Amino acid sequence: MTNAAPKISIIMGSDSDLPIMQDAADVLDELGYAYELDIVSAHRTPERMMAFSQQAHTRGIRVIIAGAGGAAHLPGMVASLTPLPVIGVPIKSRNSIDGWDSILSILQMPNGVPVATVALNAARNAGILAAQIIAAGSGELRSIIDYKKRLEQAVIEKAKKVKR
Ligand code: RP5
């Protein structure tokens, strides 16, 4: 993690979400973006969730990544309370039926309160998207461009091995 003040906040409903949400932290480390990481539960710590949501932008946070599973209300409720963009990560958790419950709870937001929802358990993509939002705002796109080059190169290397 870099020493710069974090502009990205990663939150999740439970410590049981951390094995998935760690992917967001890992890709931000790779890309060189600072982040903070915390547990904020919509259902078990509603007042903490309200305080977090109302204050995040005053602390210099510019994008929030919120992961939750089952009755996954955290991303949507945070989005209802903050002016910042919220990226939602649906997690297949112990109280999920099959993961669709988490997806739909985060995806099907009412008009006026968007949550940018990534695929099930796709915290890595949430981290990349958060970095892209920060990069687009600052115009400093080099680390994203380099990342895409590395992605491309990795496929070319695999193709060399597989092609016959
Ligand atoms: C959700 O309930 C959390 O985001 C987590 O995915 C799920 C289960 O939480 P625990 O019972 O493991 O704390 O609110």
pLDDT in tens, 23-39: 999 999 999 999 999 99
Tell me, what's the pLDDT at 121? 98
Residue 69, ligand 1, Cβ within 6 A: yes
pLDDT at 3: 74
Q: Has residue 3 been placed in a domain?
A: no
With respect to residue 1, please indicate whether it lies within any of the assigned structural domains.
no
- Substitution site in 11, 12, 16, 39 for ligand 1 pocket (most atoms within 8 Å of beta carbon): 16
Number of domains in the chain: 1
Domain that holds residue 98: 8-162
pLDDT band (50, 70, 90) for residue 1: low
Q: Tell whether 115 is covered by a domain.
A: yes
Strands (E), the chain: 8-12, 35-39, 63-69, 86-91, 116-117
| 130-145 mean pLDDT | 98
Q: Is the predicted pLDDT of residue 4 greater than 90, yes or no? A: no
107-135 pLDDT, tens digit each: 999 999 999 999 999 999 999 999 999 99
Pocket of ligand 1 contains residue 94 by CB under 6 Å: yes
Task: Note whether residue 83 is domain-resident.
Answer: yes
Which residues, 6 or more positions from 132, have their beta carbon under 8 angstroms from its beta carbon?
144
Q: What is the Cα–Cα distance from 108 to 43, expressed in whole angstroms? A: 19
Give the residue, by CA position, lying nearest to ligand 1 atom 1. 69
Q: How far apart are CA 78 and CA 113, in angstroms?
A: 10
- Position 33 in a domain: yes
Cβ proximity of 99 and 86 under 8 Å: no
Ligand 1 center–CA 73 separation, angstroms = 11
pLDDT at 2 over 90: no
pLDDT of the residue at 139? 97
- Whether 2 maps to a domain, the answer reads no
What torsion do the CA atoms of 113, 78, 136, 57 make, to the nearest 10 degrees? 120
DSSP state of 5: P
CATH number of the domain at 77, please. 3.40.50.1970
Q: Is the CB of 91 under 6 A from ligand 1?
A: yes
Return the axis-axis angle of helices 46-55 and 74-81, rounded to nearest 10°: 50
Quote the ligand 1 centre to 66 CA distance (angstroms).
Answer: 13
- Most informative mutation of 10, 11, 12, 14 for ligand 1 (most atoms within 8 A of CB): 14
Whether 41 maps to a domain, the answer reads yes
Compute, in degrees rounded to 10, the torsion defined by CA atoms 149, 37, 9, 120.
60
Instruction: Indicate whether 69 belongs to any domain.
Output: yes
pTM beyond 0.85: yes
